[in-house]
Amino acid sequence: MPIPALDLKAQYATIKDEIDAAVRDVFANQSFILGPIVEGFEKEAATHLNTKHAIGVNSGSDALLLCLMAAGVGPGDEVIVPSFTFFATAGAVHRTGAKPVFCDVLADTFCIDVKDAAKRVTPKTRAIIPVDLYGQCADMEAVSQLAEKNKLTVIEDAAQSFGARRNGKMAGTFAHFGIYSFYPTKNLGGAGDGGMISTHDDALADKVRLLRTHGERPRYFNKAVGICGRIDALQAAVLRVKLKHLDKWNARRAAVAKIYDGKFSGNAKLRTPRVDAGNSHIYHQYTIVIDGEKRDAVQKSLADKGIGSTIYYPVPLHLQECFAYVGQKVGSLPVSEKLSKQVLSLPMFPELTDAQANEVAAAVLAAV
Ligand SMILES: *Cc1c(COP(=O)(O)O)cnc(C)c1O
């Protein structure tokens, strides 16, 4: 039997009745934008995350954009982002007219290298966006120290880490802002696009809420130029159902990771993800690093056996065509560049069985 990298149908099968009822409820109410279901979801998410404000928006990408806008980032400013992340982290910076400045990541946790970031701070630097990549928190204490010293706004990109913790605190709640994505493949995924912003700051929350609806307050009177950035009630309805199951699902991901870790331990040809001290990793992805230049061959060997795997991400952002203008050349961020050639994310979803995980691990070991 093939083993996909991700199987969303398997998850739907376990919660079909709850989801279908929640969706029918939205249609019965015919209130599709914001409204009581969205407010309910925002309250439940804020409680889950132990944050003061959780604001539903239309995607993780626009969540980033809204935070930058609320922080007043714009032309002439620089924002430090890790090069090894999903495109949106830097795309949002460009959209404000500010310049993304790329820094490197740590080879073992894949998260921001704060020492490298510190070297890139200039008088123009206004903000920094650490990413909790693959499901574990970045070194948020070090990020906060750097930010306080240089008066930077911190936007924690927790798009892949809803429910992860660091020293007991939830991912996305360490900084001025945290953002989440509910893209369907994320560990908390909706039935389309969706996202969220968390903040403890009343004034910043108010700004985000204003900008999320074109800056209008009251209706048809615009105080600022915002965006059309609201979350749909349909997404909120689905996400409310899924949030109730999230702890259990995240725990199962960690159990699958433990199986992989056990099978791979001691193998010199690949590296397993290191969990940073104080972190509880939710393994949005289980990503290994394969030494040398064998990664693509390993992926093909898995595919030949019907086993899915994914490369997150094949091109570091400083080498993307659209960011050539930033001027960071090949060789400038060696860890990000090397990882993009060596990482491979293995099948990871809560419904994956122990037997399947063992089969995947065996196929990897046979191929490296
Ligand atoms: C998915 C993701 C985003 C963007 O979220 P969307 O909801 O797809 O717009 C941003 N940052 C990271 C790290 C992501 O993985």
Q: 159: Cβ below 6 Å to ligand 1?
A: yes
Q: Is the CB of 352 under 6 A from ligand 1?
A: no
Ligand 1 in reach of 102 Cβ (< 6 A): no
**Pocket perturbation via mutation, ligand 1, pick of 155, 181, 317, 336 by most ligand atoms within 8 A of CB:** 181
Residue nearest to atom 2 of ligand 1 (CA): 159
Q: The whole model's pTM is what?
A: 0.98
Residue 178 CA, ligand 1 centroid: distance in Å: 12
- Block means of pLDDT (10 residues each) for the chain, 368 residues, are 96 98 96 95 98 98 98 98 98 98 98 98 98 98 98 98 98 98 98 98 98 96 97 98 98 98 96 97 98 97 98 98 97 98 98 98 98
Give the pLDDT of residue 278: 97
> pLDDT value at position 71?
98
pLDDT value at residue 1: 87
pLDDT of residue 332: 98
Who contacts 72 (Cβ-Cβ below 8 Å, separation ≥6)? 126
For residue 293, report the distance from its CA to the centre of ligand 1, in Å. 28
User: Distance from the CA of 149 to the center of ligand 1, in angstroms?
Assistant: 28
Give the domains, in start order, of the chain with CATH numbers: 8-243 (3.40.640.10), 246-367 (3.90.1150.10)
